Structure 1
Amino acid sequence: MDITRRLERMKQEICQGGKREAPTRANAGKRALLEEQQELIVRAVALGDRGED
């Protein structure tokens, strides 16, 4: 549950950051990296959940 809240907060920060900052390649790259990191965390949590069952 705590991971889910953290991921949602990260997602909101990514979206808000994109609105505040000028749309540059660097900012797009940062968002892409954060989204990729978030996806990896989601996968790790899913694998962990499967292992516990």
Structure 2
Amino acid sequence: MGAANGKNPIAIVVPCHRVIGSDGRLTGYAGGLGRKQWLLAHEAGEVPLALI
């Protein structure tokens, strides 16, 4: 799964950032774990739309 996600050119459309580890922790993401965490929080409505 990781190799397929790594080749995903449209990550925001095909949401590979939603893949998490079997223990519930965040795992690798080509854009970095900080960006992955931000995307997940954004989708949950926890961050404003404006970029800071």
Q: TM-score normalized by structure 2? A: 0.33
Higher helix proportion: 1
- After TM superposition, the score normalised by the length of structure 1 is 0.32
- Work out which of the two has the higher radius of gyration on C-alpha atoms and give 1 or 2: 1
